[in-house]
Structure 1
Amino acid sequence: MSAPESVEVRDEEHARARPFEWWHHSHPTFAALTGFFSGMLFVTAVPGGFAALLRLLFSYDRAEKLFPWVAVFLVVPIVLLARRKTRRFGQYMALGMLLTALVVGGVASLVLYFMVRADA
């Protein structure tokens, strides 16, 4: 009877030492949620941050010429998809990136359509 009790005590001590470690290993949606929202943030924050950094460092014309280099950041999700250990996270990150891009593009096209139609 003492063996199961010692295992429980050891598990409790381990849980107290690392209180949030269970999220990374046992929760089934951790990789999905963090990957999806990371993809959303990646699509919105990385190009904006890159443009702001370029604008701070260079003139407007030079920053405009260097902006296409933001595509280099697409290596990050590709590497995540290539490695077996991070593939699930990478899949959901790519899904978050794709859906965010579709929503932003769809809303922008609708707004442009209604603005042009109202002007005519």
Structure 2
Amino acid sequence: MTHPTTQPQGTHLTADLAGCQAAHPWMTQPEALRQACLLAVAEAGLQAVGERFHGFEPAQGHQTAGVTGVVLLAESHLAVHTWPELGVVTLDVFVCNLLSDNAARAQQLLDRLVAGFEPERQSRHTLLRALPDARST
């Protein structure tokens, strides 16, 4: 029989941003978003171990196109998706808390990126994740 653990083993933060300016470099320029994300990761005291950023081609009827980016962290991941034609951004930060509590670092990372996008509106959610206890009794 397994019992769920009571200690959170991960912190998962999301932010949905609206009213972001399409002309902001992070919205359409993969390299600008990449540099901002890597700097924010380092400033938060997290460790990037890989990354990939992709800029999309404008769709018919639009002059701009968004960026999707992921930074793999030793602690887990950061994912960013932009839609400049809608002024929308989604952010996803997940950090493991197995060896140390990284929740404050995750919050700092999310706060830095949200502030950088300068949204008019935002919705944030926090999920404390816990893995089932692998020990049977």
- The bucket for the TM-score relative to the shorter chain is under 0.3
**Between Structure 1 and Structure 2, which shows a larger proportion of strand residues?**
2
**Larger relative CO (CA 8 A, sep 6+): 1 or 2?**
2
- TM-score by length of structure 1 reads 0.27
Pair member with larger Rg? 1
What is the TM-score normalised by the length of structure 2? 0.25
